[in-house]
Every structure is written in C-alpha cells, then in structure tokens.
C-alpha cells in the first residue's frame, strides 16, 4: 500500500491489517503505552474545505506518533491561486514525508500521488472519504465483534460517504442495502464495482433497505460545496430520514452511525441520534486510531 486514495484501491487484507493495527494503537493509548513510530516524520495537511474531526485527529495522531503535522490552508497556498497540482506535489515531496488532502475533485488527489513521490492520504473528496470508512468499520467490528455477514444499510445521498461505505463494507463481507431518491444514486464506478456482489441492493424505499439491518448509517443531504442546493435537496430527501419508525424495521440491537456533522431533524431525528450517541462519538474517536494506523503503514 503506497497511498490511501480510495477504498476501491484497498484489498480486504489491507483493510483488515489497518483495523487490527488501529485496535492495537487504541488499546496501547488507553494503557499509556507510547510508540514514537513516526519520530522525525512530517505530514502536510492541505484543506480546501472545512474540517473539525479530520484536522484535529490527524494533528493529534501525528503528535502522538512523534511526528510533525503541518496545517496548510489551501486559500493561503499558491495552489489556491492556481499553481498546478503537479508542481505543488513535486515541491512538497521534497520537504515532507506524506500529504493528507481534503478537496473537491478526486482527480486532484490522484494527481498528487501521480506527480509526487510521497504517500498521499485522501481526507475527503466529493467522490469518497476512505479515512472515515476505516473508522466506521473499526467501530462496527468493535461493537459487533465481526464484520463478515452483517448487514449495513445506508439511507440518503449517494455521496462520498455512501460511495466509500458500499465499497468498504462489501470488501469486508457485509451485505449492503442503500436507499436514495432517483437522481441521487452512488457514483457509477461504485455501482460497477458492486454489481458483482449478490448481497448489494439499491432501493428507492428506505423501509426496504432498513429491513433486518445490523448497522444503519446516514449523512447530510447537502455536502460541502452543495450549500446552494440545500433547499432543493431537503425536498428531494423528504422521507429519507433515520427515525424511530425506520429503526423499528432494523434488528433490535442495530447500531446507528453518522460521520458528523449531523443535521438533526433532517437526515436523522434528535431522539435516534441521542439514543445512539455512544456509538456515533466512538466512531468519531476512532478516526484518531484508524488514521494513526494508516500513517504508520504509509509513513512508518
């Protein structure tokens, strides 16, 4: 594994390795065992979009591993004034040991990897959010004890979260049912990948998708960059909410996850959110442990 660009690139073994290391690092952190596995290493973190969890967990993770994180706001960099990605990448490759980038186009992340010669980590694009999905898989495995054979149901927008969850969960042997309104389907690349899996189903009806699910997941209806469509999307996603009624169709002990930030009253009701807050905030914490595992694998 040279980079973390998208879930489609990872093998089941690579995902399992990352999850195992993440569990170990979490256990060791809780027991005061320190490993400065990235002493002397530097990670540049380029942000073209806002972030709370990704930024803080990467910074803290690098610090805990003995390395140095450098926050690079794209609006303060020459890349924000049009310097090409291929030049930025070749320059940063000479200073840094790795780059994490959060941006719009997936092609920008792929280009950084193509032109530079250091590991690139995708911290979210419009296409996918692999760091989040590793934390989600870690959380599900922690609560349920396994992944293989479980059913993940995702209700809502065919966005970066849905794209990556479909791929990550199928690769880990889970059944995947998603429900989204027409016009908001997952990316074609993801549908092409999923078509070989008998345990993948795309529904228009949230109720059908949620039936007997072990894990129910959602995300905002309007992602970063789609703020102007918020009103239109609120209408399009009417009925695609995780609420008590929908949860009554899932298994009795079903988990609920949300990558956050959440919009209570839109994609999830406040009562379901609070009932599952323990899982949701464990998921947020697990960003730290899963990303440390990725950093060790790529930069260590």
Q: Which residues are catalytic?
A: 102, 129, 132, 219, 259, 287
**Least Å from the CB of residue 86 to ligand CP:** 26
Tokens at 42, concatenated: 């530097």
Query: What's the min distance (Å) between Cβ of 136 and ligand NVA?
Result: 12
Residues 6+ apart with CB under 8 A from 66: 35, 36, 37, 38, 39, 40, 41
160: contact with ligand NVA by CB under 6 A: yes
From ligand CP, ligand NVA, none, interface partner of 161 (C-beta below 5 to 8 A by class)? ligand NVA
Under rule CB under 6 A, residue 124 binds ligand CP: yes
The reply on whether position 54 binds ligand CP by CB under 6 A is yes
Candidates 28-36, 175-183, 216-224, 242-250: pick the segment binding ligand NVA (CB under 6 A).
Answer: 216-224
Number of Cβ within a 10 Å radius of residue 78: 12
Contacts of 259 (CB under 8 A, 6+ apart): 129, 132, 136, 161, 219, 283
132 binds ligand CP (CB under 6 A): yes
> Would you call 235 helix, strand, or coil by DSSP?
helix
Told to check if 259 binds ligand CP by CB under 6 A, we report yes
Residue 52 interacts with, from ligand NVA, ligand CP, none (CB under 5-8 Å by kind): ligand CP
Q: What mask of x and - would describe binding to ligand CP in positions 78 to 117, judged by CB under 6 A? A: ----------------------------------------
Of ligand CP, ligand NVA, none, which one does residue 191 interact with (CB within 5 to 8 Å by kind)? none
Least distance from ligand NVA to the Cβ atom of residue 8, Å: 18
Burial of 5 (0-12, 13-18, 19+ CB in 10 A): buried
The yes or no reply on residue 219 touching ligand NVA (CB under 6 A) is yes
Is 52 a residue that touches ligand CP (CB under 6 A)? yes
From the list 63-71, 191-199, 218-226, 285-293, the region that binds ligand NVA by CB under 6 A is 218-226
34 touches 8 (CB < 8 A): no
Q: How far apart are the C-alpha atoms of 211 and 248, rounded to whole Å? A: 9
Residue 259 binding ligand NVA, by CB under 6 A: yes
- Could you tell me whether strands 98-102 and 175-179 are parallel, antiparallel, or unpaired per DSSP bridges? unpaired
Shortest distance (Å) from residue 132 CB to ligand CP: 5
Cα(8)–Cα(11) distance, integer angstroms: 8
Looking at residue 81, the DSSP 8-state letter turns out to be G
Residue 260: CB atoms within 10 A of its CB come to 16
**Interface with ligand NVA, residue 164, by CB under 6 A:** no
Task: Name the nearest CA neighbour of 125 among 138, 111, 115, 142.
Answer: 111
Question: Does residue 136 bind ligand NVA (CB under 6 A)?
Answer: no
Strand 175-179 with 200-203, pairing: parallel
For ligand CP, the binding residues (CB under 6 A) are 51-54, 124, 132, 259-260
For ligand NVA, the binding residues (CB under 6 A) are 124, 159-161, 219-220, 223-224, 259
């Amino acid at each position: 594994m040279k980079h973390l660009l998208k879930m489609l690139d990872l093998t089941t073994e690579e995902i399992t390795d990352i999850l195992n290391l993440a569990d170990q690092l979490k256990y060791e952190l809780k027991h005061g065992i320190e490993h400065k596995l990235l002493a002397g290493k530097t990670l540049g973190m380029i942000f073209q979009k806002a972030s709370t969890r990704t930024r803080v967990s990467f910074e803290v993770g690098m610090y805990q591993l003995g390395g140095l994180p450098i926050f690079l706001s794209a609006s303060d960099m020459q890349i924000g004034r049009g310097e090409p990605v291929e030049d930025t990448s070749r320059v940063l490759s000479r200073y840094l040991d790795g780059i994490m980038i959060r941006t719009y186009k997936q092609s920008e992340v792929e280009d950084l990897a193509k032109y530079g010669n250091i590991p690139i980590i995708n911290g979210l694009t419009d296409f996918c959010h692999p760091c989040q999905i590793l934390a989600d898989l870690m959380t599900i495995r922690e609560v349920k004890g396994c992944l293989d054979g479980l059913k993940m149901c995702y209700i809502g927008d065919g966005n970066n979260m849905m794209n990556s969850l479909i791929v990550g969960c199928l690769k880990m042997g889970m059944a995947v049912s998603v429900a989204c309104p027409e016009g908001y389907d997952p990316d074609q690349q993801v549908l092409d990948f999923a078509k070989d899996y008998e345990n993948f189903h795309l529904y228009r009806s949230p109720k059908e998708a949620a039936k007997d699910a072990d894990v129910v997941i959602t995300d905002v209806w309007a992602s970063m960059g789609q703020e102007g469509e918020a009103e239109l999307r609120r209408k399009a996603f009417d009925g695609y909410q995780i609420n008590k009624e929908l949860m009554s169709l899932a298994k009795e002990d079903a988990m609920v996850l949300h990558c956050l930030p959440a919009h209570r009253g839109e994609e999830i009701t406040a009562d379901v959110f609070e009932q599952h807050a323990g899982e949701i905030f464990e998921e947020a914490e697990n960003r730290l442990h899963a990303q440390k595992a990725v950093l060790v694998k790529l930069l260590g």
